[in-house]
Structure 1
Amino acid sequence: MEMSREQLIFNVMADYPPMEMEVMRLLQPGFSNALEPLITSQLSFDSFSIETISAIMKVWFNPELAHHVRSFEVCWYYTEEDQEVEGFNEENVLNFVDHALDTIFEPKEGKLRAKWKEYLLMPNKEAWFGLLLVRLHHLETLEFGHDGTYGLVIDILRKAARRQRPFHEDPPFPCLKKIIMYPQWGGTWIDSNFVDPFFFFPAVETIECQAIGESDPSENTPVVTARSARPVRRIIVKEAYWTHGLFDWLDACTQLEHLSIKLDFQPDDETSEEYRFRAPQFRRHLLRSRSTLKTLHLGATQTLTGLAGDLVDEDGPLGSLQEFTYLQDLDIRHAHLLPLASRGRMVRRHTRLLIILPASIQRLKIRHVVDEDFGSLLSELLNVVQRRDLFPRLEELIIKVEDVENKPLDPLRQACTSAGITFTAKLQKV
């Protein structure tokens, strides 16, 4: 089997037995120079072994090795039992651990330092990968996957966000642009406060999460209280269980260009209504990016397409989006765009979309159209299509409805053709 460059370098490094601190300090420059042609920019670990620990120790004392790493993928899982690592000798790494922790923690952080030392000497996977993260100054992409946490990696991320030792001299992770986070198992999530620190790094542009929530939303507090302009441009959340922490993310952004969220919930979720998604509240937080937002996708996961009304609270839909003067692509659920008569709401006028959509809109996609409200939606869309003076840039209109073949769509289709707008009606699967 052909070996990848990454596997090759770490296998080469693993051939060297664990060294004492004094020997590590005497490593000749030729050691890293000889390996440099083998170094890959992508680093990931499929397992956790004594070879992994040995490689991490060598990277700590060879900045040349860490310098080449541009992408780091790491995952771990929570277990109440200590992890057995064959060949691990606490005495061999004790000096290294003490040196590393002295580098990371201030003398006044004795309690935190003691916690880290305990986990490193277990040895614990999250602790050792967190230790390695400190040295990867030239990362561009960081990918996390975990099922539960001991709160170790978040210690490092918060130190970086707060410019605390060992990140007190230079901006942390100055090249880091993209963050990808995912839970190890389906039906679980990453706590939103685990993502918070990345909004305070100097170069992060994209944050992509498979699933977010809050284990204890009442304790979800910002990492840093002072807010200022952040470089984050794209946020993608494929499953959002609770969105209380998500609002903190929006508060940290003033230059957001792309936001995509799919709402979700668990059938046994009994969380207080205080932490449920509220569309008008969401809009208020999003207003910080009203002069930059180009794409807004607000949907629901496939499992919820038959429950369109269940994700609409008493506060109603978003409200007007005309303040978002650069919004070009809007992909949204019917119930979050317009008040629904089928939900007992009064629809006072059929021109409501005319005062909701911004003049900049180019693509409009409306999902989860409820049958009882189809007629009123059709009238409003006709008004939009016929008012090219208000929406001169509109190029594409897509709706997803149930029983699409039996809907009276010809008037809207003809109006779109006359206006030079591409129209598509798709079946909404339930």
Structure 2
Amino acid sequence: MELALPNDVLLLVGEQLEQKADCWNLVFVSRHFHDLFLSFVYRRVSLRDWHDASSFLYAILNRPVLARAVRELDWRDWHAKGLSEDQRKEITESTHLKEWLHVVSHSDIENQQWTEDLGQGLGDAWAALILPLLSQLRKLQLSYASTSPWLDRIMQRAIQCERPFVSQPPFKCLQEVSLHHRNDLDRGDTWGAREEHQSASTLLMPFFSLPSVRVITADSVVDPSTAITSPEQTTQNLRVGFSSITEIDLRSSSGNHGMEALVSSCADLKSFKYQHSDSHVLSHGYQPSAFYRSLAHSKKSLQTLWLDHYGSHFPFTAGGLNQSHDEWFGSLADFTALRELRVRLPNLLDIRYQNEPPTPLLECLPSSLATLYIEGCEERNLGMLVSQLQVVIKNRRTRFPGLNRIDIEGAFQNVRSDDDGATSSPGPEISDGVIKDKVFQAAEPLHIDCSNAGMELYLHDRTLLTF
């Protein structure tokens, strides 16, 4: 019996299926449906261990059309399981694997080392072997270890168009990349001791050289300008305005030099989000002025800026006493495309040595601003901030016509102090889990002004819900 619908129509129906289980059901309807819809199953691939990776590699080597069907690869849930002797033998004796390793490897020694690491279930070895086959990949989500030599190596070869990337441009369709560092994947000292930042920065930087990539998300990145890399790992210097990336999101990272090598390489950076962490060995503390210098290249294009969103700061860092994290970022008035700003109060206004900032908030904000989220407001500074914001709202019509929402976050939760001055959990006579009444009272004039101007105002304590 002939199908009533042509293949083109059936494929359009299949494209509307979001659940992978539904795609599998279509595959098993008939041989015709199997051939027609099998590629849909391979559009979004999630690999969790060596068995998944081995089966997937065998499938795409045996049927290259399936490799071309892959649009998203998710490696975030990888588990480095130990292999039995029989399982290792199965890997080392695989004909398909041997043939592909012969194509990818640049020497017999490398081939042997790669085979050994595959047999140990190491994620970066499997990932580096699979990635060159996925020519139509759009989205990549990778978990990586402190030392990920195979991923480093394959990405270096990609940007240098070395084997196996000789016949076609590497990752020509890749648009979005997420890199997640996981200590539990560390391999020990197999490849020799390395500093933690080397893998993060060297693995990240090659993606800035791929012309199709637009979005980068990564964590545990130490500023590439700080990194000291070996010659075989050194990436080409990124020129100013060279990269097509428009969105950067760096979490739990340390930008001692404002991530200058990354930020300045972007020709049209629209979104930059940065969360600082002093937990890295080479961290010298958060230095906002360094980010001001690096982001100056993007004053005309940047639309979203998050600086140090809920970052972590230690009293002492490798650079000594950690005082620089309270440094003023500088005026944002020249960032003429900026619509969303999230920043800590000491970085928004210069209040290190005085109660009132020498440069008022009115002169620090761009006229394009739509939402303003201020973090880290101490209770003693709330009155000053309310006063500064009232001036902004008063001039909203002429200076900030698009401003429609303000958020203020700080340590506003109810706590009580013992007689000796030590802070303890609130007792039954004080309501727990709420923002203090006097905080609401201090913010009430601003609330009235916002209401009259048709704006939204929210107070936050990071340990509580939004009020």
Q: Secondary structure at the match of 1:212?
A: coil
- How do 1:60-71 and structure 2 match up within 5 A? 60-71=61-72
Q: Report how far residue 56 of structure 1 moved.
A: 1.3
Q: Does residue 357 of the first structure (1) align with residue 355 of the second (2)?
A: no
Find the aligned partners of 1:187 and 1:165 in 2 and give their Cα distance.
27
- Give the stretch that moved more between structures: 224-233 or 250-259: 224-233
Give the share of equivalent positions with the same residue, in percent: 22
Partner of 1:411 in structure 2? 445
Q: Report how far residue 339 of structure 1 moved.
A: 1.5
Residue-by-residue CA offset, 1:366-390 (whole Å, 9 max, x unaligned): 1110223223222221221111212
Find the aligned partners of 2:323 and 2:385 in 1 and give their Cα distance.
17
- Give the stretch that moved more between structures: 109-118 or 127-136: 109-118
RMSD: 4.0
Q: State the one-letter code of the partner of 1:53.
A: S
Partner of 2:174 in structure 1? 176
2:42 to 40, 43, 62: 40
Residue-by-residue CA offset, 1:65-117 (whole Å, 9 max, x unaligned): 201111112255679xx8546333379637655543443355xx676556435
Compared CA separation, residues 182 and 5, structure 1 to 2 (3 A): farther
Check whether the contact 1:78–1:147 (CA below 8 A) recurs between aligned residues.
no
Partner of 2:208 in structure 1? 199
Check whether the contact 1:367–1:428 (CA below 8 A) recurs between aligned residues.
no
Partner of 2:403 in structure 1? 394
Q: Secondary structure at the match of 1:416?
A: helix
Partner of 2:458 in structure 1? 424
Check whether the contact 2:132–2:170 (CA below 8 A) recurs between aligned residues.
no
Compared CA separation, residues 121 and 292, structure 1 to 2 (3 A): same
Q: Report how far residue 55 of structure 1 moved.
A: 4.1
Partner of 1:246 in structure 2? 259
- How do 1:57-136 and structure 2 match up within 5 A? 57-74=58-75, 76=78, 83-84=83-84, 86-89=86-89, 93=93, 96=96, 99-105=99-105, 112=110, 115-120=113-118, 124-136=122-134
Q: Report how far residue 314 of structure 1 moved.
A: 7.3
Q: Secondary structure at the match of 1:400?
A: strand
The TM-score normalised by the length of structure 2 is 0.72
Q: State the one-letter code of the partner of 1:319.
A: G
Q: State the one-letter code of the partner of 2:235.
A: V
Q: Report how far residue 328 of structure 1 moved.
A: 0.5
Q: State the one-letter code of the partner of 1:225.
A: N
- Give the stretch that moved more between structures: 310-319 or 193-202: 310-319
Check whether the contact 1:39–1:65 (CA below 8 A) recurs between aligned residues.
no
The TM-score normalised by the length of structure 1 is 0.77
Q: State the one-letter code of the partner of 1:400.
A: E
Q: Report how far residue 212 of structure 1 moved.
A: 3.2
- How do 1:274-289 and structure 2 match up within 5 A? 276-289=285-298
Q: Secondary structure at the match of 1:89?
A: helix
Q: Secondary structure at the match of 2:245?
A: coil
1:147 to 136, 145, 148: 145
Partner of 1:323 in structure 2? 334
Check whether the contact 2:40–2:69 (CA below 8 A) recurs between aligned residues.
no
Find the aligned partners of 1:409 and 1:378 in 2 and give their Cα distance.
6
Partner of 2:249 in structure 1? 236
Larger RCO (alpha carbons 8 Å, 6+ apart):
1
Check whether the contact 2:288–2:347 (CA below 8 A) recurs between aligned residues.
yes
Find the aligned partners of 1:216 and 1:187 in 2 and give their Cα distance.
26
Residue-by-residue CA offset, 1:392-421 (whole Å, 9 max, x unaligned): 221112212333531322322222233332
Compared CA separation, residues 252 and 168, structure 1 to 2 (3 A): farther
Q: Report how far residue 135 of structure 1 moved.
A: 0.3
Find the aligned partners of 1:5 and 1:325 in 2 and give their Cα distance.
47
- Give the stretch that moved more between structures: 323-332 or 254-263: 254-263
Compared CA separation, residues 55 and 163, structure 1 to 2 (3 A): same
